[in-house]
Amino acid sequence: RKGQRMRATLMMTLLVPVLATQTQAEIPKNLENFSLEKFTGIWYVLAIATEAKKYLLRERKIGAVVVQALKKGQLKIMYAHDRPQGCQLYNIILKEDLKKSMFRNTVKGIRDFRVLSTDYWVYAVVYIKGGKAGYYYNNVLLCSREKMVKIEMLQEFIKMCQTVGLICNKTIFLKQDATCAHTIIPVSCDSTVFWLLPIRCF
């Protein structure tokens, strides 16, 4: 618990300056020369900034995303997500919109999916605009190949949140409990090379 308190203190220390420097939201384009092949594989979801108020009402466990590249211009995502009723699994196929430099599936409520920043090896910051029937909300996810938050990736996450217009009181750092994530990521995958395998590791 002491370690968790120290981590929370560090995160809030980094977030506080963001409150004083908010600007009008501007969604960056998907990364130039973005490599879908390098982005595929397993990601842990460690933090989420969101406009969905209900999401911020309770502590949540870290989630997980498995990304697969299908035929040209299509992206398959499997997402393990901690909800009040328990861990929920979602499968969705996104189609690339080259004109707007993003992926989408409006039928499933994903109007905009784009990678704002990534080094492919350690972290990724992902923007998602979700919702249906006229209610839409912005989300920024901090994803990592491992379950640990590192200062450098946290700083990049904060910068992207600031760009999108999401402030620290709309950010939740997910509890370091991987039981939900491990519904799609085997425990044995916690290694330095697990993410190279798109679905499972051995």
182 found inside a domain: yes
pLDDT in tens, 124-172: 999 999 887 778 889 999 999 998 888 899 999 999 988 888 875 577 7
Judge whether residue 99 has pLDDT over 50. yes
From 132, 111, 114, select the one nearest 30 (Cα to Cα): 114
Would you say 9 and 26 are in contact if contact means Cβ atoms under 8 Å apart?
A: no
Give the number of domains in the chain: 1
Tens of pLDDT along 65-79?
Answer: 999 999 878 999 999
Q: Containing domain of residue 165, as a range?
A: 2-190
**Would you say residue 202 lies in a domain?**
no
138: three-class secondary structure by DSSP: strand
Question: For residue 20, what pLDDT is reported?
Answer: 40
Q: Tell me the average pLDDT across 188-198.
A: 43
Residues sharing a CB contact under 8 Å with residue 12, sequence separation 6 or more, in sequence order: 168
Q: Which amino acid makes up residue 169? A: N
Distance of CA 74 to the CA centre of its chain: 19
pTM (2 decimals)? 0.78
Q: How confident is the model at residue 121 (pLDDT cuts 50, 70, 90)?
A: very high
Q: Does any domain span residue 51?
A: yes
pLDDT band at 48 (very low <50, low <70, confident <90, very high): confident
Q: Reply yes or no on whether the pLDDT at 98 is more than 50.
A: yes
Residue 195 lies inside a defined structural domain of this protein: no
Judged against a pLDDT cut of 60, whether residue 5 lies above it is answered with: no
Residue 178 belongs to some domain of the structure = yes
Q: Where are the beta strands (DSSP E) in the chain?
A: 41-50, 63-69, 74-83, 86-97, 102-105, 110-118, 123-132, 135-144, 171-173
Q: What is the β-pairing status of strands 86-97 and 102-105?
A: antiparallel
The CATH number of the domain holding residue 141 is: 2.40.128.20
Q: Where are the alpha helices (DSSP H) in 54-171?
A: 151-164
Residue 85 lies inside a defined structural domain of this protein: yes
Rounded Cα–Cα distance for residues 116 and 137 (Å): 17
Residue 199 lies in a domain: no
Amino acid 26: pLDDT: 66
On whether residue 197 sits in a domain, the answer given is no
Q: Is the pLDDT of residue 22 over 60?
A: no
- Tokens 């299509």 sit at which residue? 74
